[in-house]
Amino acid sequence: MEEVTGEWVRSVIPPRRAGSRKGENGVVVVIGGSGTYHGAPFLTAMAAMRSGVDLAYLYAPEKIVAPLRALSPSLIVMPYTD
């Protein structure tokens, strides 16, 4: 098993270009959640943002869209119908 080190990560993931635009460094879509369980999709989308993705879309039930939007202005939160 290979150890994941900072050096290994730098060798696998190319550095961002200084003039890159939104979306050129990755886009992720997370679909999930319910009125009761909404933490995992939010944390997944935030983890994607921390990993370097430029755009993270989170599709969640309509009744929890507003609270999710309030948690992070970086996420694009869209409703879906249960």
Residue-level pLDDT at 12: 86
For 46-60, write each residue's pLDDT tens digit: 999 998 899 999 999
Residue-level pLDDT at 82: 62
Residue-level pLDDT at 40: 95
| Secondary-structure percent of the chain, ordered helix, strand, coil, rounded to 5 | 35, 20, 45
Residue-level pLDDT at 64: 93
Residue 62, phi-psi category: left (phi > 0), alpha (psi -120 to 50), beta (remainder): alpha
Alpha-carbon distance values, 45 to 27, 76, 78 (Å): 10, 10, 13
